[in-house]
Structure 1
């Protein structure tokens, strides 16, 4: 079996010993070349065990983080994404900030055509917060897609995606 040239760009996948970062570490993210940049297709991640800390109380906030994107030239490597999301474990930020930070880090990393990040946080104090952020590459049809998906976001039946 020949080794894919993309594999040379990946340093974390396949490693038996991995150093976990428990404070915010965007530098851990890795990308690889998209072999089909001419195609529009979705890549979706679901992280049901996300943890961050409340910046005021230090109490843990648990969430499922959903990331969906239409890749451009680069794609995020899934193990590095997992380790990146784990790095929020001791990081203090509000729910809304966490979702926007994740989205902005991934935009900076891969320059996707389109991306959306949705955090479904477990209730604390009797209320849950479910921030949603998205981005479409400016001046393209993806910018219009971002606005359309943003407008329609709360029209999606939330009970179809629920782990609470």
Structure 2
């Protein structure tokens, strides 16, 4: 494999990409982490996430904040974009959608640590902002996940921080 590990990527750099409108985790792709001996966060901010309310069919919009500490594999960002786009016609409550994404990324990369926070725009005067995380069992990352879960939202919401 080449030094930048992109030979196996089927989407990066391709102009004629088909956008799928139905949930498809097979769109996700990885590449090798070139700094496996170091802990560091990769933060992916996704301000254009959409899914559908499973009851009303109305669209729900969110910014997703995905942060992870990679081990061997990392998610390729264009593949992640297309995967997130595949939620466009998916009917799922906010909490279910965020947990599905978490499960798919854990299955894909097996990161040391990962967290996802969905900041959904209000509908009917209420915003729903699910947060989930995962630390590798039996390691310091499991302890980190517990700590971050208990302390992740210590700042009160303000109208201007959306």
Gap runs ≥5 in structure 1: none
Gap runs ≥5 in structure 2: none
Q: Which has the higher helix share?
A: 1
Report deviation, 1:38: 1.2
Structure 1 CA distance for aligned equivalents of residues 95 and 131 of structure 2: 8
Structure 1 CA distance for aligned equivalents of residues 130 and 79 of structure 2: 23
**Equivalent in the alignment of 2:48:** 49
CA displacement, residues 22-67 of structure 1 (integer Å, 9 cap, x when unaligned): 1101000000011111100000001111100000110000000110
**Equivalent in the alignment of 2:27:** 28
Q: How many residues align?
A: 161
TM-score scaled to structure 2, two decimals? 0.95
Secondary structure of the structure 2 residue equivalent to 1:9: coil
Superposition CA RMSD, Å: 1.6
Secondary structure of the structure 1 residue equivalent to 2:152: helix
Q: Do the aligned partners of residues 43 and 156 (structure 1) sit closer, same or farther apart at CA in structure 2, a change above 3 Å counting?
A: farther
Secondary structure of the structure 1 residue equivalent to 2:6: helix
Structure 1 CA distance for aligned equivalents of residues 30 and 15 of structure 2: 20
Report deviation, 1:5: 5.1
